[in-house]
Structure 1
Protein backbone atom coordinates (compact mmCIF):
# COMPACT_ATOMS: atom_id res chain seq x y z
CA UNK A 1 0.00 0.00 0.00
CA UNK A 2 1.00 3.59 -0.59
CA UNK A 3 2.06 5.91 2.21
CA UNK A 4 -0.29 8.68 0.92
CA UNK A 5 -3.93 8.82 1.91
CA UNK A 6 -6.14 10.91 -0.36
CA UNK A 7 -9.14 12.76 1.06
CA UNK A 8 -12.44 13.17 -0.77
CA UNK A 9 -11.81 16.88 -1.40
CA UNK A 10 -8.91 16.05 -3.72
CA UNK A 11 -10.96 13.55 -5.73
CA UNK A 12 -13.89 15.91 -6.16
CA UNK A 13 -11.75 18.50 -7.94
CA UNK A 14 -11.48 16.04 -10.83
CA UNK A 15 -15.08 16.95 -11.59
CA UNK A 16 -14.20 20.59 -12.24
CA UNK A 17 -12.58 22.41 -15.13
CA UNK A 18 -9.97 24.30 -13.12
CA UNK A 19 -6.33 24.47 -12.13
CA UNK A 20 -7.25 22.45 -9.07
CA UNK A 21 -8.48 19.65 -11.33
CA UNK A 22 -5.02 19.52 -12.89
CA UNK A 23 -3.43 19.28 -9.45
CA UNK A 24 -5.88 16.57 -8.38
CA UNK A 25 -5.13 14.59 -11.55
CA UNK A 26 -1.39 14.81 -10.88
CA UNK A 27 -1.90 13.69 -7.27
CA UNK A 28 -4.06 10.73 -8.23
CA UNK A 29 -1.77 9.65 -11.03
CA UNK A 30 0.79 8.94 -8.31
CA UNK A 31 -1.61 6.59 -6.56
CA UNK A 32 -2.48 6.47 -2.92
CA UNK A 33 -4.92 5.03 -0.44
CA UNK A 34 -8.59 5.90 -0.06
CA UNK A 35 -11.15 4.43 2.29
CA UNK A 36 -14.63 3.19 1.56
CA UNK A 37 -15.80 6.37 3.33
CA UNK A 38 -13.97 8.48 0.71
CA UNK A 39 -15.65 6.52 -2.08
CA UNK A 40 -19.05 6.95 -0.41
CA UNK A 41 -18.56 10.70 0.03
CA UNK A 42 -17.42 11.02 -3.59
CA UNK A 43 -20.41 9.00 -4.78
CA UNK A 44 -22.82 11.25 -2.88
CA UNK A 45 -21.27 14.31 -4.50
CA UNK A 46 -21.26 12.73 -7.96
CA UNK A 47 -24.97 12.03 -7.66
CA UNK A 48 -26.10 15.18 -5.85
CA UNK A 49 -23.78 17.97 -7.00
CA UNK A 50 -22.48 16.72 -10.35
CA UNK A 51 -25.88 15.25 -11.31
CA UNK A 52 -24.30 12.01 -12.51
CA UNK A 53 -26.47 8.97 -12.93
CA UNK A 54 -25.44 5.71 -11.26
CA UNK A 55 -23.54 4.45 -14.29
CA UNK A 56 -21.58 7.69 -14.74
CA UNK A 57 -20.70 7.80 -11.05
CA UNK A 58 -19.62 4.16 -11.17
CA UNK A 59 -17.32 4.79 -14.12
CA UNK A 60 -15.77 7.77 -12.32
CA UNK A 61 -15.26 5.85 -9.08
CA UNK A 62 -13.93 2.77 -10.88
CA UNK A 63 -11.22 5.06 -12.23
CA UNK A 64 -10.34 6.14 -8.69
CA UNK A 65 -10.26 2.50 -7.57
CA UNK A 66 -7.91 1.67 -10.44
CA UNK A 67 -5.46 4.32 -9.23
CA UNK A 68 -5.75 3.87 -5.47
CA UNK A 69 -5.73 1.12 -2.92
CA UNK A 70 -9.04 0.98 -1.05
CA UNK A 71 -9.08 0.25 2.66
CA UNK A 72 -12.05 -1.02 4.59
CA UNK A 73 -13.66 0.74 7.50
CA UNK A 74 -13.40 -1.32 10.63
CA UNK A 75 -14.54 -1.08 14.20
CA UNK A 76 -10.93 -0.33 15.20
CA UNK A 77 -10.84 2.57 12.73
CA UNK A 78 -14.10 3.88 14.17
CA UNK A 79 -12.84 3.69 17.76
CA UNK A 80 -9.57 5.40 16.83
CA UNK A 81 -11.50 8.05 14.91
CA UNK A 82 -13.60 8.89 17.97
CA UNK A 83 -10.45 9.29 20.07
CA UNK A 84 -8.74 11.45 17.44
CA UNK A 85 -11.83 13.61 17.04
CA UNK A 86 -11.92 14.29 20.77
CA UNK A 87 -8.16 14.92 20.99
CA UNK A 88 -7.70 17.12 17.92
CA UNK A 89 -11.17 18.64 17.49
CA UNK A 90 -11.83 17.09 14.07
CA UNK A 91 -15.30 16.76 12.63
CA UNK A 92 -16.68 13.22 12.71
CA UNK A 93 -15.89 12.53 9.07
CA UNK A 94 -12.42 14.09 9.17
CA UNK A 95 -11.63 12.06 12.30
CA UNK A 96 -12.54 8.85 10.49
CA UNK A 97 -10.39 9.85 7.48
CA UNK A 98 -7.41 10.51 9.77
CA UNK A 99 -8.01 7.23 11.58
CA UNK A 100 -8.14 5.31 8.29
CA UNK A 101 -4.87 6.92 7.18
CA UNK A 102 -3.15 6.04 10.45
CA UNK A 103 -4.58 2.52 10.58
CA UNK A 104 -3.24 1.84 7.09
CA UNK A 105 0.27 3.06 7.80
CA UNK A 106 0.12 6.25 5.76
CA UNK A 107 2.56 9.06 6.56
CA UNK A 108 0.83 11.73 4.47
CA UNK A 109 -2.82 12.76 4.30
CA UNK A 110 -3.57 14.89 1.25
CA UNK A 111 -6.52 17.12 2.05
CA UNK A 112 -7.69 20.65 1.46
CA UNK A 113 -10.04 20.46 4.43
CA UNK A 114 -7.60 20.16 7.33
CA UNK A 115 -4.67 22.16 8.71
CA UNK A 116 -1.72 22.06 6.31
CA UNK A 117 1.44 20.81 8.01
CA UNK A 118 -0.30 19.43 11.09
CA UNK A 119 1.33 16.28 12.46
CA UNK A 120 -1.05 13.70 13.91
CA UNK A 121 0.18 11.21 16.50
CA UNK A 122 3.79 11.86 15.54
CA UNK A 123 3.56 10.06 12.22
CA UNK A 124 0.90 11.43 9.88
CA UNK A 125 1.39 14.81 8.20
CA UNK A 126 -1.56 16.63 6.67
CA UNK A 127 -0.65 18.28 3.37
CA UNK A 128 -2.78 20.50 1.18
CA UNK A 129 -1.71 19.62 -2.38
CA UNK A 130 -3.28 22.84 -3.68
CA UNK A 131 -1.53 25.20 -1.25
CA UNK A 132 1.61 26.07 -3.21
CA UNK A 133 0.24 25.37 -6.66
CA UNK A 134 -2.43 28.05 -6.85
Structure 2
Protein backbone atom coordinates (compact mmCIF):
# COMPACT_ATOMS: atom_id res chain seq x y z
CA UNK A 1 0.00 0.00 0.00
CA UNK A 2 3.00 2.23 -0.42
CA UNK A 3 2.24 5.22 -2.64
CA UNK A 4 5.02 7.61 -3.50
CA UNK A 5 3.29 9.80 -6.07
CA UNK A 6 0.57 12.27 -5.23
CA UNK A 7 -1.82 11.22 -8.02
CA UNK A 8 -4.68 8.81 -7.45
CA UNK A 9 -3.80 5.11 -7.63
CA UNK A 10 -5.82 3.00 -10.01
CA UNK A 11 -8.15 0.71 -8.10
CA UNK A 12 -11.07 -1.54 -8.91
CA UNK A 13 -13.50 -3.52 -6.83
CA UNK A 14 -13.75 -7.32 -6.53
CA UNK A 15 -17.41 -7.13 -5.46
CA UNK A 16 -18.24 -6.05 -9.04
CA UNK A 17 -16.83 -9.30 -10.42
CA UNK A 18 -18.42 -11.43 -7.72
CA UNK A 19 -21.85 -10.03 -8.49
CA UNK A 20 -21.45 -11.09 -12.10
CA UNK A 21 -21.13 -14.70 -10.91
CA UNK A 22 -23.36 -14.53 -7.88
CA UNK A 23 -25.41 -17.52 -9.02
CA UNK A 24 -22.79 -19.68 -7.32
CA UNK A 25 -24.05 -18.33 -4.00
CA UNK A 26 -27.28 -20.21 -4.66
CA UNK A 27 -25.73 -23.25 -6.33
CA UNK A 28 -27.84 -26.36 -6.34
CA UNK A 29 -26.89 -29.90 -5.43
CA UNK A 30 -27.37 -32.79 -7.88
CA UNK A 31 -30.97 -33.29 -6.75
CA UNK A 32 -31.79 -29.61 -7.22
CA UNK A 33 -31.86 -28.56 -3.57
CA UNK A 34 -29.80 -25.61 -2.42
CA UNK A 35 -26.66 -26.55 -0.49
CA UNK A 36 -26.15 -23.99 2.28
CA UNK A 37 -23.79 -25.98 4.51
CA UNK A 38 -20.60 -24.19 3.41
CA UNK A 39 -22.12 -20.73 3.73
CA UNK A 40 -23.35 -21.43 7.25
CA UNK A 41 -20.21 -23.21 8.45
CA UNK A 42 -17.52 -21.12 6.83
CA UNK A 43 -18.21 -17.43 7.25
CA UNK A 44 -14.87 -15.65 7.09
CA UNK A 45 -14.09 -12.18 8.42
CA UNK A 46 -11.89 -10.09 6.13
CA UNK A 47 -9.60 -7.46 7.66
CA UNK A 48 -8.99 -4.07 6.07
CA UNK A 49 -5.57 -4.86 4.60
CA UNK A 50 -6.95 -7.74 2.52
CA UNK A 51 -9.81 -5.54 1.27
CA UNK A 52 -7.38 -2.78 0.27
CA UNK A 53 -4.96 -5.12 -1.51
CA UNK A 54 -7.86 -6.66 -3.44
CA UNK A 55 -8.77 -3.24 -4.84
CA UNK A 56 -5.29 -1.75 -5.33
CA UNK A 57 -3.98 -2.33 -8.87
CA UNK A 58 -0.52 -1.31 -7.65
CA UNK A 59 -0.33 -4.03 -4.98
CA UNK A 60 1.23 -6.68 -7.25
CA UNK A 61 1.31 -10.21 -5.84
CA UNK A 62 -0.66 -9.16 -2.76
CA UNK A 63 -3.51 -8.00 -4.99
CA UNK A 64 -3.49 -11.30 -6.86
CA UNK A 65 -3.49 -13.31 -3.63
CA UNK A 66 -6.16 -11.17 -1.96
CA UNK A 67 -8.43 -11.65 -4.97
CA UNK A 68 -7.79 -15.41 -5.05
CA UNK A 69 -8.82 -15.69 -1.42
CA UNK A 70 -11.78 -13.31 -1.67
CA UNK A 71 -13.31 -14.61 -4.92
CA UNK A 72 -14.98 -17.74 -3.50
CA UNK A 73 -15.98 -15.95 -0.30
CA UNK A 74 -17.71 -13.19 -2.26
CA UNK A 75 -19.29 -15.59 -4.76
CA UNK A 76 -20.66 -17.80 -2.01
CA UNK A 77 -21.61 -14.86 0.20
CA UNK A 78 -19.38 -16.03 3.06
CA UNK A 79 -17.27 -12.86 3.43
CA UNK A 80 -17.92 -10.66 6.46
CA UNK A 81 -16.52 -7.22 7.30
CA UNK A 82 -17.38 -4.61 9.90
CA UNK A 83 -18.11 -0.92 10.05
CA UNK A 84 -14.54 -0.57 11.36
CA UNK A 85 -13.20 -2.17 8.15
CA UNK A 86 -15.33 0.17 6.03
CA UNK A 87 -13.99 3.20 7.93
CA UNK A 88 -10.36 2.08 7.74
CA UNK A 89 -10.74 1.23 4.04
CA UNK A 90 -12.08 4.70 3.24
CA UNK A 91 -9.35 6.42 5.26
CA UNK A 92 -6.56 4.34 3.71
CA UNK A 93 -7.57 4.64 0.06
CA UNK A 94 -8.18 8.37 0.30
CA UNK A 95 -5.01 9.08 2.27
CA UNK A 96 -2.48 6.53 1.00
CA UNK A 97 -3.80 5.77 -2.48
CA UNK A 98 -5.11 9.31 -3.11
CA UNK A 99 -8.50 8.10 -4.31
CA UNK A 100 -10.96 11.04 -4.41
CA UNK A 101 -13.51 10.91 -1.59
CA UNK A 102 -16.51 10.59 -3.92
CA UNK A 103 -14.96 7.58 -5.67
CA UNK A 104 -13.91 6.07 -2.33
CA UNK A 105 -17.49 6.46 -1.10
CA UNK A 106 -18.73 4.40 -4.06
CA UNK A 107 -16.25 1.66 -3.17
CA UNK A 108 -17.46 1.67 0.43
CA UNK A 109 -21.05 1.36 -0.83
CA UNK A 110 -20.05 -1.70 -2.85
CA UNK A 111 -18.40 -3.33 0.17
CA UNK A 112 -21.65 -2.72 2.07
CA UNK A 113 -23.31 -5.31 -0.20
CA UNK A 114 -21.70 -8.11 1.79
CA UNK A 115 -22.37 -8.94 5.45
CA UNK A 116 -21.32 -6.02 7.64
CA UNK A 117 -21.06 -6.25 11.42
CA UNK A 118 -22.14 -2.99 13.03
CA UNK A 119 -19.69 -2.28 15.84
CA UNK A 120 -21.98 -1.79 18.83
CA UNK A 121 -20.95 -0.75 22.35
CA UNK A 122 -20.99 -4.37 23.57
CA UNK A 123 -18.50 -5.31 20.85
CA UNK A 124 -16.24 -2.44 21.92
CA UNK A 125 -16.34 -3.67 25.53
CA UNK A 126 -15.60 -7.22 24.38
CA UNK A 127 -12.66 -5.92 22.35
CA UNK A 128 -11.32 -4.10 25.40
CA UNK A 129 -11.44 -7.40 27.30
CA UNK A 130 -9.61 -9.22 24.48
CA UNK A 131 -7.01 -6.46 24.37
CA UNK A 132 -6.45 -6.85 28.11
CA UNK A 133 -6.25 -10.67 27.99
CA UNK A 134 -4.16 -11.11 24.84
CA UNK A 135 -1.19 -9.31 23.30
CA UNK A 136 -3.17 -7.61 20.53
CA UNK A 137 -3.88 -3.97 19.87
CA UNK A 138 -7.34 -2.65 20.64
CA UNK A 139 -8.08 -2.28 16.91
CA UNK A 140 -7.07 -5.87 16.18
CA UNK A 141 -9.13 -7.01 19.17
CA UNK A 142 -12.10 -5.15 17.69
CA UNK A 143 -11.68 -7.08 14.42
CA UNK A 144 -11.49 -10.38 16.32
CA UNK A 145 -14.51 -9.59 18.51
CA UNK A 146 -16.54 -8.51 15.46
CA UNK A 147 -15.64 -11.79 13.74
CA UNK A 148 -16.64 -13.81 16.81
CA UNK A 149 -19.97 -11.99 17.13
CA UNK A 150 -20.66 -12.68 13.43
CA UNK A 151 -19.99 -16.39 13.90
CA UNK A 152 -16.84 -16.40 11.79
CA UNK A 153 -14.33 -19.14 12.50
CA UNK A 154 -11.50 -17.34 10.71
CA UNK A 155 -10.12 -13.84 10.20
CA UNK A 156 -8.03 -13.11 7.12
CA UNK A 157 -5.39 -10.56 8.14
CA UNK A 158 -1.70 -9.90 7.75
CA UNK A 159 -1.66 -7.86 10.98
CA UNK A 160 -2.04 -10.71 13.46
CA UNK A 161 -0.16 -13.91 14.28
CA UNK A 162 -0.86 -16.63 11.71
CA UNK A 163 -2.80 -19.57 13.21
CA UNK A 164 -3.31 -17.85 16.55
CA UNK A 165 -6.74 -18.56 18.06
CA UNK A 166 -8.42 -15.82 20.07
CA UNK A 167 -12.03 -15.90 21.26
CA UNK A 168 -12.65 -19.01 19.15
CA UNK A 169 -11.46 -17.29 15.96
CA UNK A 170 -8.41 -18.52 14.02
CA UNK A 171 -6.18 -15.89 12.43
CA UNK A 172 -5.08 -16.69 8.89
CA UNK A 173 -2.49 -14.63 7.01
CA UNK A 174 -3.31 -15.21 3.33
CA UNK A 175 0.05 -13.78 2.25
CA UNK A 176 2.24 -16.37 4.04
- Fold shared per TM-score above 0.5: yes
Alignment of 1:1-134 (within 5 A): 3-13=43-53, 14-15=55-56, 16-29=58-71, 30-31=73-74, 32-66=79-113, 68-121=114-167, 123-131=168-176
Give 4+ residue runs of structure 1 displaced > 3 Å after superposition: none
CA RMSD of aligned residues (A): 1.5
Structure 1 residue 27 displacement after superposition:
2.3
* Number of matched pairs: 129
* Runs of at least 5 residues in structure 1 that lack an aligned partner in the other structure: none
Higher alpha-carbon Rg: 2
CA distance in 2, matches of 1:28, 1:62: 17
Mapped partners of 1:92, 1:125: distance in 2: 17
Provide the TM-score with structure 2 as the length reference. 0.69
* Aligned-pair CA distance for 1:92: 1.4
Deviations 1:80-127 (A, max 9, x none): 100000111211111111110111111000000000000113x21000
What do the CA deviations read for 1:39-70 (whole angstroms, capped 9, x no partner)? 0001001111111112210222233233x311
User: Aligned equivalents of 2:126 and 2:171: distance in 1?
Assistant: 17
Structure with larger RCO (C-alpha < 8 A, sep 6+): 1
